[in-house]
Amino acid sequence: MRTTIATTAALMLSLAAGSALAGSHSSEEAMSEEAKTAMMEQITGDADEGEKVFRKCKACHAVGEDARNKVGPHLNGVVGRAAGSVEDYTYSSALMEKAEEGLIWTPEELAAFLENPRDYLPGTKMSFAGLRKQEDRDDVIAYLAQFDMDGMTMKEDN
Ligand code: HEC
């Protein structure tokens, strides 16, 4: 997969930023190198295919350099990001409860959420039926993992 290195780099950045948001002192403390590696190994999808899957999300979510909140929060750096952490976005209380419990959007948690948002998180205001195909979930997660907290990617073909 041609985007593996870029994905890894973006994920490291988003992990550091995510744990900063979660209130820990340093990214090292929040997540060990092994944990980071394990998390990156969970990203097995095809980012280019994921860009197509993301069309289903675009009505409500933006990602990239000038991404803003729409119906849903912007998704820059979301892989590894603390749930409910976009400051100027008003989340449902269901999501904020998960955030207070310390939920981090690892690839695994994202996949579970995206498969069936309302089953995973009863009371969420994300009105989206879900991505029933595992391939679509894997691909869209690989796509999202390319963007760091500032919406920058390090894809070689940019
Ligand atoms: C109809 C609008 C809509 C669509 C379509 C949609 N979402 Fe959402 N999304 C939302 C809303 C609204 C929230 C806030 C949920 C809450 O507060 O309960 C959200 C929350 C999220 C979160 C949690 C973010 C955070 O900061 O904690 C992720 C991740 C996410 N969406 C990913 C996706 C992806 C990926 C897709 C496409 C496969 C998608 N969404 C499709 C509206 C949407």
Reported pTM: 0.83
What's the confidence (pLDDT) of residue 13? 54
**Ligand 1 site, residue 73, Cβ cutoff 6 A:** yes
Q: Which residue has the tokens 């990001």?
A: 81
The torsion angle over the Cα atoms of residues 76, 112, 60 and 128, rounded to 10 degrees, is 180
How far does residue 72's CA lie from ligand 1's centre (Å)? 5
Q: What share of the chain has pLDDT > 70, as a percent?
A: 76
Q: Ligand 1 center to residue 31 CA distance, Å?
A: 25
* Superfamily of domain 4-144 in the CATH hierarchy: Cytochrome c-like domain (1.10.760.10)
Domain ranges of the chain: 4-144
Q: What spacing in Å lies between the alpha carbon of 82 and ligand 1's midpoint?
A: 14
112 lines ligand 1 (CB under 6 A): no
Q: Which of 131, 115, 99 is nearest to 86 (CA)?
A: 99
Q: What is the pLDDT of residues 115-143, one digit of tens each?
A: 999 999 999 999 999 999 999 999 999 99
pLDDT at 28: 39
The tens digit of pLDDT for each residue in 64-80 reads 999 999 999 999 999 99
Instruction: Identify which of 52, 57, 68, 144 to mutate to test ligand 1's pocket (most ligand atoms within 8 A of the CB).
Output: 57
The conformation of residue 82, written as its DSSP 8-state character, comes to: B
